[in-house]
Structure 1
Amino acid sequence: MGDPSGIGPEIVARLFLQRPERRHGIVVGDPLVMAEAVRRLDPGGRVRRLDRVEAARFAPGLLEVLPSSALAVLPPVGRVCAASGRAAYAAIVAAIGLARSGRVAGLVTAPIHKEALAAAGLAYPGHTEILAEHAGGARVAMMLANDEIRTVLVTIHCALSEAIRRGDFAAQMTAIRLAHGAGRSLGIAAPRVAVAGLNPHAGEGGLFGDEEIRIIRPAIEAARAEGIDASGPWPGDTVFMQARRGRFDVVVAQYHDQGLIPVKYLGLERGVNVTLGLPFVRTSPDHGTAFDIAGRGLADPASLATAFAYAERLIARRGAAPATIPARDL
């Protein structure tokens, strides 16, 4: 359900109310929060509390909620709240348990707020780190994708200075391998992985930094030795343009903003966040909790719908033979 103080419950409820074909999904979250979200959108909407996943009926006009918390009062809307942070975290952990046990096919997570987690005493910078820890310490990476480009991040939620330190050879190899695997899971037989440089002009032969020479290029060569079609390092200011034109299938970006700005610039409603390296499918919309419009009935579920569709396609393709599928068809 995401953070109860943000737009998560609203966009989840709106998606279910607007898209009656979504009858094979349940909501993991707080029944009180979800009932209020439905009431605000449709006084005639129905919420049913589940005691187990297997009891879901998937009936039209019915939002089924598996409780992960039991709030006595509704948390405030539109501001950081520790109770909301705890409830959001509880929903994520409960959903991970369902996925790891095979009781659900995958997860689509609504936005959470990092400050709310911190206020609740939970030292996680985001979904990705929670998923990694509770999915058995998996080596994971974030992929942001739309119908034109896909990007996998070497480092995620940390200061830029820390990202430079963390982007070592092992981190490069993990990201490149996961990018290759992501392309395969999307049906691309031989994914073309472009690795962006860290420095301007990819270091300009060492004039603007030597990370490309010392770390990134050796990782690309090692990946190629494993049979991965990796290339680079490419200048960060042009590699996404080339990917958008069809030269590459996935771009490995060195840090958060380098990879996310190109995807988000093309439209938040089109972007999907996919966590790679997990034993189950997980996607999320490409936006935050939007406290400024929470509770006002203005939130658009388009990105959540895209994340839902992307998860369905990833789940459907698991076990399928790879075939070349262009980004625009995903």
Structure 2
Amino acid sequence: MTTKPIVGITMGDPASIGPEIAIKALLDPAVYDSCNPILVGDAGVFTDIAQRLGLAVSIHPVTQVSDAFFTPGTVDVYDLNNVDLSQLRFGEISAMAGGAAFAAVKTVIELALAGAVDATVTGPINKKSINEAGHHFAGHTEIYAHYTNTKKYGMLLVEEQMKVIHVSTHVSLRQACDLVKKDRILEVIDLLHNGLISLGEENLKIGVAGLNPHAGDSGLFGTEDDQEILPAVEEAHRRGYDVDGPVPADTLFSKAATGYYGGIVAMYHDQGHIPFKLTGFKWNAAKQQMDSVKGVNITMGLPIIRTSVDHGTAFEIAGKGVASPDAMLLAIESAVKLARQRVKEIKSESDKE
């Protein structure tokens, strides 16, 4: 890795706020102080949004990372040239947009596996558009796991003191309950512990949420807490982890927000996402828009680094110039931190040899 890590950033769905927040993030000189960023997607899409919004940047298309300038004011784009701007409509689901978004993700994974970029950051995608393009994945996490051949992985959400990883993510609630198993919970505890270390966190105390109300209340409201979650927590103790659980979720997250826990294991998607977004997402009712959208999604367990904004495509405001780049800036910051930590770990292992 060079002095500054090279970070590949995907455009997300071209009909979404993805291209807008990517360019806005690169208008911040601090990004170039910490890394060498390169966008991955259609250069024409970035040129169009920059002109529409009057953003003071020059778009520099390249076909290989080595041709990038990495200069503030000039946005390098690894150009896939796969969007027909005459057919693109902001806020609309389409196979063309989904195909372009998917191609950007697949390409940045390939660049990372080849060592051309040191970390990857993803913009928001629309799952229906991607599926209409013939790519049948539930989301970014599953795409990354597939193309890196990763079997054990987890979605870690990070926003200041709130750090949440999930036992299951993009499945139905009925399926999620069936996936609450001891082995998977242990696997996720391990991923979270390693993730906290990679992020440089000192507080490694982990709280594990119960599945049922009151964590089952000794079997009165379900048996999963006693039969699957508690044995996993007990085994984690034996392995040396500082872990509590199962803790009723309505109590667990209020304590997590104060910094009591370094990280939380949620049993399913909404159990973790709702309290997390209450912390990082700030809606301005008077202006009818978000004042800030903070939160980073990190996929743990991959052989490459992947962080992402933890918000959707926001089709309703696409192309209007009001989208906040806060989450993109935080995702880039986290990617840089993880890239530098990975270099330290590699050097440490080399020194031992």
TM-score, normalised relative to structure 1: 0.93
- Does the Cα contact within 8 Å between 2:203 and 2:261 map onto a contact in 1? no
- Does the Cα contact within 8 Å between 1:29 and 1:91 map onto a contact in 2? yes
RMSD: 1.6
Deviations 1:36-78 (A, max 9, x none): 1222223653111112111111122111111234223352111
SS in 2 for 1:264: helix
Alignment partner of 1:311 out of 321, 327, 335: 335
- Residues in 1 aligned to 2:201 and 2:322: alpha-carbon distance in whole angstroms: 37
* Corresponding residue for residue 304 of structure 2: 280
SS in 2 for 1:25: strand
* Corresponding residue for residue 257 of structure 2: 244
- Residues in 1 aligned to 2:267 and 2:56: alpha-carbon distance in whole angstroms: 48
Task: Pick which of 257-266 and 19-28 moved more.
Answer: 19-28
Residue 20 of structure 1: CA displacement?
3.0
- Residues in 1 aligned to 2:80 and 2:262: alpha-carbon distance in whole angstroms: 38
SS in 2 for 1:237: helix
* Corresponding residue for residue 255 of structure 1: 268
Higher strand share: 2
- Residues in 2 aligned to 1:176 and 1:108: alpha-carbon distance in whole angstroms: 24
SS in 2 for 1:144: strand
Alignment partner of 2:64 out of 30, 44, 52: 52
Alignment partner of 1:105 out of 86, 102, 118: 118
Whether 2:71 is the aligned partner of 1:62: answer no
* Corresponding residue for residue 47 of structure 2: 35
- Does the Cα contact within 8 Å between 1:14 and 1:41 map onto a contact in 2? no
Specify the code of the residue in structure 2 equivalent to 1:13: I
Residue 307 of structure 1: CA displacement?
1.2
- Residues in 2 aligned to 1:85 and 1:52: alpha-carbon distance in whole angstroms: 23
After superposition, the Cα gap between the structure-2 partners of 1:319 and 1:66, relative to the gap in structure 1 and judged at 3 Å, is closer
- Does the Cα contact within 8 Å between 1:31 and 1:70 map onto a contact in 2? no
Whether 2:14 is the aligned partner of 1:4: answer yes
Q: After the TM superposition, which residues 68-83 of structure 1 pair with which residues of structure 2 at under 5 Å, given as runs? A: 68-74=80-86, 75-83=88-96
Give identity over the alignment, percent: 39
Deviations 1:100-124 (A, max 9, x none): 1221111111100111112112111
Task: Pick which of 241-250 and 210-219 moved more.
Answer: 241-250
SS in 2 for 1:129: helix
- Does the Cα contact within 8 Å between 1:153 and 1:259 map onto a contact in 2? yes
Specify the code of the residue in structure 2 equivalent to 1:19: D
* Corresponding residue for residue 313 of structure 2: 289
Task: Pick which of 190-199 and 155-164 moved more.
Answer: 190-199
Alignment partner of 2:28 out of 19, 43, 62: 19
* Corresponding residue for residue 197 of structure 2: 184
Whether 2:217 is the aligned partner of 1:207: answer no
Specify the code of the residue in structure 1 equivalent to 2:208: V
Residue 316 of structure 1: CA displacement?
2.0
- Does the Cα contact within 8 Å between 1:47 and 1:64 map onto a contact in 2? yes
Specify the code of the residue in structure 2 equivalent to 1:238: T
- Residues in 1 aligned to 2:165 and 2:81: alpha-carbon distance in whole angstroms: 33
Alignment partner of 2:131 out of 112, 118, 123: 118
- Does the Cα contact within 8 Å between 1:14 and 1:38 map onto a contact in 2? no
Specify the code of the residue in structure 2 equivalent to 1:309: E
| Structure 2 unaligned residues grouped into runs of 5+ | 1-10, 282-292, 346-353
Q: Alignment length, in residue pairs?
A: 320
- Does the Cα contact within 8 Å between 2:99 and 2:133 map onto a contact in 1? yes
- Residues in 2 aligned to 1:272 and 1:60: alpha-carbon distance in whole angstroms: 24
Residue 196 of structure 1: CA displacement?
0.4
- Does the Cα contact within 8 Å between 2:150 and 2:302 map onto a contact in 1? no
SS in 1 for 2:218: helix
Residue 218 of structure 1: CA displacement?
1.0
* Corresponding residue for residue 236 of structure 2: 223
Residue 282 of structure 1: CA displacement?
1.2
- Does the Cα contact within 8 Å between 1:69 and 1:90 map onto a contact in 2? no
Residue 8 of structure 1: CA displacement?
0.1
After superposition, the Cα gap between the structure-2 partners of 1:43 and 1:204, relative to the gap in structure 1 and judged at 3 Å, is closer
SS in 2 for 1:26: strand
